[in-house]
């Protein structure tokens, strides 16, 4: 038996505007202050290919079909796993990731209706033995999330582009994934104050993180 994966992968999930980036950064800051070997990464766009893929996905001049979109996300993830996550985890780091596999299951599976079993097999191919130790799901209604991102965005938000019905399916999808993985996924009320959410995440993380050396 090998002990190659000594690090800890922690993921942040939730619909657009739920507060993933805010929480991932707040938790990163605290863990760094406490002396943990911790880094933050995100999807899509954490590798050279990922950067190109991110620009394609966000491009306004391109129409991308839902199948092509799925494979672009997976191409990004595959590079992210091989070039960023596997090396960092094998040296014992804690890696926080802003969106990961559950986002694909929620958006492309529950939202766009690609078959869930297919997504699972593709993820097995891409991930091998890499699995998040813990996932924080920031749960919020699409209506409230839209209010938040509207004040941030100058142009039409993704919620407005794809519609509230789509985001309701994605939210319900995330909750269903959490019901199927109760050990791994911790559901948090994303409408709580920012500090309260981080406090809960850090309290939960204390159960799985070793003391910093």
Ligand X SMILES: Nc1ncnc2c1ncn2[C@@H]1O[C@H](COP(=O)(O)OP(=O)(O)OP(=O)(O)O)[C@@H](O)[C@H]1O
The contact set with ligand X (CB under 6 A) reads: 14, 16-22, 148-149, 152, 192-194, 197
Nearer to Mg ion (CB atom), residue 7 or residue 44: 44
Tokens 């813990």, residue located: 134
Q: Which residue of this chain has its Cβ atom nearest to Mg ion in the complex?
A: 21
Q: Does 21 bind Mg ion (CB under 5 A)?
A: yes
Give least dist CB 147 to ligand X, A: 9
Cα–Cα dist 39/95, whole Å: 5
Contacts of 87 (CB under 8 A, 6+ apart): none
Give least dist CB 38 to Mg ion, A: 18
Cα–Cα dist 126/130, whole Å: 9
Cα–Cα dist 91/173, whole Å: 33
Residue 115's binding partner, choosing from ligand X, Mg ion, none, with beta-carbon cut-off 5 to 8 A by kind?
none
Give least dist CB 26 to ligand X, A: 9
Residue 157's binding partner, choosing from ligand X, Mg ion, none, with beta-carbon cut-off 5 to 8 A by kind?
none
- Site residues for Mg ion per CB under 5 A: 21
């Amino acid at each position: 038996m090998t002990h190659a994966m000594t690090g800890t992968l922690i993921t942040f999930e939730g619909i657009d505007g739920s507060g993933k980036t805010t929480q991932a950064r707040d938790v990163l800051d605290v863990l760094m202050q406490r002396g943990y070997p911790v880094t933050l990464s995100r999807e899509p766009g954490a590798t050279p290919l990922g950067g190109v893929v991110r620009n394609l996905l966000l491009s306004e001049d391109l129409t991308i079909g839902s199948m092509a979109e799925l494979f672009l996300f997976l191409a990004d993830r595959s590079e992210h796993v091989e070039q960023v996550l596997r090396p960092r985890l094998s040296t014992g780091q804690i890696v926080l990731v802003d969106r990961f596999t559950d986002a694909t299951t929620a958006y492309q599976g529950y939202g766009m209706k690609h078959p869930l079993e297919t997504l699972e097999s593709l993820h097995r191919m891409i991930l091998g033995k890499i699995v998040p130790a813990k996932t924080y799901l920031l749960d919020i209604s699409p209506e409230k999330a839209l209010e938040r991102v509207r004040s941030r965005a100058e142009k039409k938000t993704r919620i407005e582009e794809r519609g509230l019905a789509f985001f309701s399916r994605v939210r319900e999808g995330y909750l269903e994934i959490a019901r199927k993985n109760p050990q791994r996924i911790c559901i948090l009320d994303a409408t709580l104050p920012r500090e309260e959410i981080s406090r809960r995440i850090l309290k939960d993380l204390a159960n799985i993180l070793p003391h910093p050396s």
